[in-house]
Structure formats: structure tokens, C-alpha cells
């Protein structure tokens, strides 16, 4: 662990020179390279003169102000950042006094935790008082205490790569715990003992996995050991905070790394227990796919098909599509293993887990529906489905059809190239048939050719359950036979009414 006293504070000139080897600073600590200095300078220029003007206001009031954490890290990594996080020794009431009359807008939603938000000249910033958080073993709500030292504030942050700062208005770079070195080595360490850090906030264990997924960094062995030993502590954290970190992990650039870390440390057993349970025992008599490994491959293959950035619904569906297998596994004669109806069981399990994690209702519904439908294609055989079956496939998928296409294709992980090519060609054929029917019949908006008002007029009935029954009949007719024209649909409706004993009357 670096010596906290070896804290380089070097000015960041506004130059745009090419990168150069990092020189050694005081006590052998690497200095910021010229390109990295430029990266932070560019970030500061983007929010200047707002940031410097604000820094001057705090200095005039006798207080410190520094750009801190994620924005500094991302600037050094040349990653885009939307957040502008600042930290100060001024307590929240004093922050409000300093920005009073200067900020264009102020919000205090996070003031309970020492954070004040503001907007100035279109730039949004959050200022947080130096602080530390700690959890009582029986409480889900952290206790916040304020500090007076930037060094101590950085020491209580989650990882060294997030414990760097740039003072305002002078732009001095502050890196007491070797965060810059960790960035170069692509490693995640805590500024102090990981056990102390995770005891302060157990969510940091999940954040380690999240940053591994986002940045592709390796987590230091002592951090992994602490995560493993303290995994159960994550249960003290609210479901909403866990959900947010899990979503960021799944939508990261390297989700496999983050998920594997959760499983290997035992954290997944507390936040997503269905995932480690996919590691089904495979003995010499009952061999089948490693469902856990298969699910990670499906996730990666689904990601490869994304077109507009990370799709949380698709990624969750890919990860969870087979979680019903452990519960439905049966050993058959001849050494076979079956998982009958695992898609139905898995959909229910998905709905229950995502609801427990407080995901929005639409996300829960969409992910569980994709899990339920992910095997439907395999009834297609070599193209034996009728047009009616294809219409029902589209109807059942609804607005999830595009995602279902991607999930179904991703679910092919066979190493048998001939089998993989056959499945791909078969699904190509299904998509071509869907496209043809969509062009011919406006398949995406399947509905009867006669609406509810017309049903009442034709049958001479009032609004009520009978209209719903008639509408359902006409919808099934539409799915079975496609577009037959209003006159033919009307004749079918009247025939249905007679068979049902409905006193219909043709009023046309």
C-alpha cells in the first residue's frame, strides 16, 4: 500500500503535447504523463470558467474545493463522463451560503448525505462535503460523518482509482494512494484495508465487480479475499442500491468478468442466487452443457448483436434465460438429462428475482416474457410452421420481437459447425417469413378486421362480455387465416354467433 505521505500534487498545464514516458515524482511516485495532464486539463476547460470561478468563491470564503473521483479517473482513461463531482471541507449549510445568488439553480435532494447540486451556465455540478459513511450491522441506512481533510476524504473512498482529485482553482493533481499507478496497471485496490472499506459500505464489494465489468480491470487479491470473507454483509444494503450496481455491471463492456467475480466470491449467492446455481454438477454418467458457462456465452453473443448501445432487458434475459434448469433437471434412461418446461419455470423465477431487486415493472415483464419465449423457435423444425403459427409467434412476442430474434440466435452455443449453420439458416427462414407476412398483412399490428363497435352493430348487442368473446373469436380467425376481408369476416362472425346461440342481426 502506498505511503499516504507520498502525495504528489503537480500542476496540470493546458498543453496538447504527445504522450511521453511517465517520470518519477517525489518518493518515486509516478507523475502524470503529459497526455494525462492534458486529459484533466481538457475536462477542467470544459467546465471552466464555472469550476474555477466556483473554486475562487470557496477560497475567498476560506474553504477548499476539488474535482474528485469518477470524472478525474475517466479523464485520465480518456472515457467520456457526464458527472462533475466536487468535494469540499464546507458543510452543506455553508455550501448553500457560498453559491447563493451565484448558481442559476440549486437542488438539495442529497443534502442529508452532504451533497448539494447546482447548475451554472448550463453546467450541472454536485458538491459533497468531505465525509465518510459507515453501516451499523443491523441498519440498511449509512451514518454520515463530515471531515475537514481532502486526504482523509480520499482515503475513505472505495478504490484508489477513484481517490484522485484536482484542486480548484489551482488545478493541482492530488493522488495520495497511487490511483494513477493502478490505472496504468489496470488493477482495483482500496486506499486502505479492504475489510475496513467494505465494512464502511458493503456495496463497495459489488462496485468492485461493477468496475471490473466496466473497465476490464483486475481486482487485487486482498480485495477479492475480503469480498469472499464478507460477502454476507451485502444483505444489509437496500435492494435498490444493489439493483443499480447490478444493472451497471450487466451493461458494462466486460460483464463476464464482473459476474464471474460475483460468483467466485460468493456475493452472487446473496444478490442473484440463481446464477451460481447454474453450475450444475456434471458426472461421468450424466454429461450435458455447463449451464453457467453457456449462459455467459449467450450473454456475450447477445451483446454482439446490440445496435444502439447496451440493452439491459436483452442482457438480463440472456443471462437468466436458463435459470429454470436446475429446478427442472431430470435424469432419464440412457444417461440423458431433461429440463422440461424450464422456460416456464424460469420466467416465474425471473419475475420473482427482478421484483425483489425492485426493477421497474416494465423491465420485469419484458425480461420474464423473453425467458418464457426463448425456446419457442425450436418448435419450428425445418420450417414446418404454418403461417398461422408464424403469426402467433409474432403476436406473442409483440414489441419484444426484435429482442427475441437476438436472444434466440444468441442461444446457439453448439461447437458443431454444421448444426450451428443449420440453426442459423432455419432462423433466417423464419425471419424471412415474418418479413413477408408483415409486408402483406401489417403483422406488427395484428387485430381483427372488425372492431368492437362493428361487432355490436352486426350482432345487435350491447357492450359487455359477449363483445369480448366475439372479438377473441375474430382475432383467432385473423391469426389462422390472415386477412380475408371484412365481408368474409362478417359471415364468419354471424356463423359463430348462431353456433353460440347469440341472436345476431345483420344491420348492414
The answer to whether domain 1-191 and domain 193-272 are alike in fold is: no
Of 68-82, 136-150, 167-181, the range with the lowest mean pLDDT is: 136-150
Q: Which one has a higher pLDDT value, 17 or 136?
A: 136
DSSP, collapsed to helix, strand or coil, labels residue 262 as helix
Q: Output the pLDDT for position 423.
A: 87
All three cell numbers of 351, joined, read 419475475
Q: For residues 51-63, give the mean pLDDT.
A: 94
CB atoms under 10 Å from CB of 264, counted, come to 14
* Domain extents in the chain: 1-191, 193-272, 296-445, 452-499
Q: Which one has a higher pLDDT value, 211 or 40?
A: 211
Name the band, by pLDDT with cuts 50, 70 and 90, for residue 311. Answer: very high
DSSP, collapsed to helix, strand or coil, labels residue 85 as strand
Q: Which one has a higher pLDDT value, 172 or 244?
A: 244
Q: For residues 29-47, give the mean pLDDT.
A: 65
Name the band, by pLDDT with cuts 50, 70 and 90, for residue 277. Answer: very high
Return the CATH fold of 1-191. Beta Polymerase; domain 2 (3.30.460)
Name the band, by pLDDT with cuts 50, 70 and 90, for residue 287. Answer: very low
DSSP type of residue 234: G
pLDDT digits (tens, 9 = 90+) for 430-451: 888 888 877 765 555 677 778 8
Percent with pLDDT over 70 in the chain: 85
Q: Output the pLDDT for position 138.
A: 62
Residue with cell 439493483: 243
Of 224-238, 244-258, 409-423, the range with the lowest mean pLDDT is: 409-423
Q: Which one has a higher pLDDT value, 26 or 145?
A: 145
Residues 56 and 87: beta-carbon distance below 8 Å? no
Q: Choose the CATH number for 193-272 among 2.40.128.20, 1.10.110.30, 3.40.50.970, 1.10.730.10.
A: 1.10.110.30
All three cell numbers of 401, joined, read 420481437
Handedness of CA 456, 459, 464, 469 (dihedral sign): negative
Q: For residues 262-268, give the mean pLDDT.
A: 97
**Highest-confidence range of 35-44, 68-77, 235-244, by mean pLDDT?**
235-244
**Nearest alpha carbon to residue 275 among 337, 326, 236, 343:** 326
All three cell numbers of 201, joined, read 459500505
All three cell numbers of 415, joined, read 461447437
Q: Is the pLDDT of residue 3 over 50?
A: no
**Nearest alpha carbon to residue 400 among 475, 347, 354, 326:** 347
CA torsion 90-96-101-106 (nearest 10°) is 120
Q: Is the pLDDT of residue 152 over 50?
A: yes
Q: Output the pLDDT for position 140.
A: 57
The C-alpha atoms of residue 372 and residue 366 are separated, in whole angstroms, by: 10
Residues 129 and 91: beta-carbon distance below 8 Å? yes
Percent with pLDDT over 90 in the chain: 49
pLDDT digits (tens, 9 = 90+) for 13-29: 333 333 433 333 333 34
Residue with cell 466536487: 86
Amino acid at each position: 500500500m502506498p505511503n499516504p505521505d507520498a502525495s504528489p500534487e503537480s500542476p496540470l498545464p493546458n498543453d496538447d503535447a504527445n504522450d511521453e514516458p511517465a517520470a518519477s515524482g517525489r518518493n518515486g511516485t509516478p507523475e502524470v504523463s503529459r497526455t494525462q495532464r492534458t486529459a484533466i486539463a481538457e475536462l477542467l476547460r470544459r467546465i471552466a470558467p464555472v469550476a474555477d470561478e466556483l473554486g475562487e468563491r470557496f477560497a475567498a470564503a476560506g474553504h477548499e474545493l476539488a474535482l474528485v473521483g469518477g470524472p478525474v479517473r475517466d479523464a485520465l482513461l480518456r472515457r467520456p463522463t457526464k458527472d462533475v463531482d466536487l468535494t469540499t471541507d464546507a458543510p452543506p449549510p455553508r455550501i448553500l451560503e457560498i453559491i447563493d445568488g451565484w448558481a442559476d439553480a440549486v437542488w438539495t435532494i442529497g443534502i442529508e448525505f452532504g451533497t448539494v447540486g447546482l447548475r451554472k451556465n448550463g453546467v450541472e455540478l454536485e458538491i459533497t462535503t468531505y465525509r465518510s459513511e459507515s453501516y451499523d450491522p443491523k441498519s440498511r441506512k449509512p451514518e454520515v460523518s463530515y471531515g475537514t481533510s481532502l486526504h482523509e476524504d480520499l482515503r475513505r473512498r472505495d478504490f484508489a482509482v477513484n481517490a484522485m482529485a484536482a484542486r480548484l482553482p489551482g488545478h493541482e493533481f492530488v493522488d495520495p494512494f497511487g490511483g494513477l499507478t493502478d490505472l496504468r496497471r489496470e488493477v482495483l485496490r482500496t486506499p486502505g484495508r479492504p475489510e475496513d472499506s467494505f465494512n464502511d459500505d458493503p456495496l463497495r464489494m459489488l462496485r468492485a465487480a461493477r468496475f471490473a465489468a466496466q473497465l476490464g480491470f483486475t481486482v487485487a487479491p486482498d480485495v477479492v479475499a475480503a469480498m469472499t470473507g464478507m460477502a454476507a454483509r451485502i444483505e444489509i444494503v437496500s435492494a435498490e442500491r444493489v439493483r443499480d450496481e447490478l444493472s451497471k455491471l450487466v451493461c458494462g463492456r466486460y460483464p463476464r468478468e464482473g459476474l464471474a467475480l460475483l460468483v467466485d466470491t460468493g456475493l452472487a449467492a446473496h444478490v442473484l442466487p440463481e446464477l451460481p446455481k447454474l453450475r450444475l454438477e456434471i458426472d461421468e454418467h450424466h454429461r450435458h452443457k455447463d449451464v453457467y458457462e453457456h449462459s455467459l456465452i449467450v450473454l456475450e453473443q447477445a451483446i454482439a448483436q446490440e445496435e444502439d448501445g447496451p440493452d439491459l432487458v436483452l442482457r438480463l434475459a440472456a443471462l437468466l434465460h436458463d435459470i429454470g434448469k436446475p429446478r427442472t433437471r431430470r435424469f432419464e434412461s440412457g444417461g440423458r438429462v431433461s429440463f422440461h418446461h424450464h422456460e416456464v419455470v424460469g420466467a416465474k423465477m425471473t419475475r420473482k428475482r427482478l421484483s425483489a431487486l425492485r426493477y421497474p415493472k416494465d423491465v420485469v415483464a419484458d425480461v420474464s416474457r423473453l425467458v418464457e419465449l426463448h425456446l419457442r423457435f425450436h418448435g419450428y423444425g425445418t420450417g414446418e410452421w404454418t403461417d398461422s403459427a408464424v403469426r402467433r409467434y409474432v403476436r406473442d412476442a409483440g414489441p419484444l420481437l426484435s429482442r427475441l430474434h437476438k436472444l434466440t440466435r444468441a442461444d446457439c452455443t453448439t461447437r458443431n459447425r454444421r448444426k450451428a449453420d443449420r440453426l442459423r439458416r432455419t432462423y433466417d427462414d423464419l425471419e424471412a417469413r415474418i418479413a413477408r407476412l408483415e409486408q402483406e398483412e401489417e403483422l406488427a399490428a395484428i387485430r381483427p378486421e372488425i372492431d368492437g363497435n362493428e361487432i355490436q352493430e352486426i350482432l345487435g348487442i350491447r357492450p359487455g362480455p359477449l363483445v369480448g368473446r366475439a372479438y377473441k373469436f375474430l382475432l383467432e380467425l385473423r391469426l389462422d387465416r390472415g386477412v380475408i376481408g371484412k365481408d368474409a369476416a362478417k359471415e364468419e362472425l354471424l356463423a359463430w354467433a348462431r353456433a353460440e346461440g347469440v341472436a345476431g342481426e345483420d344491420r348492414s
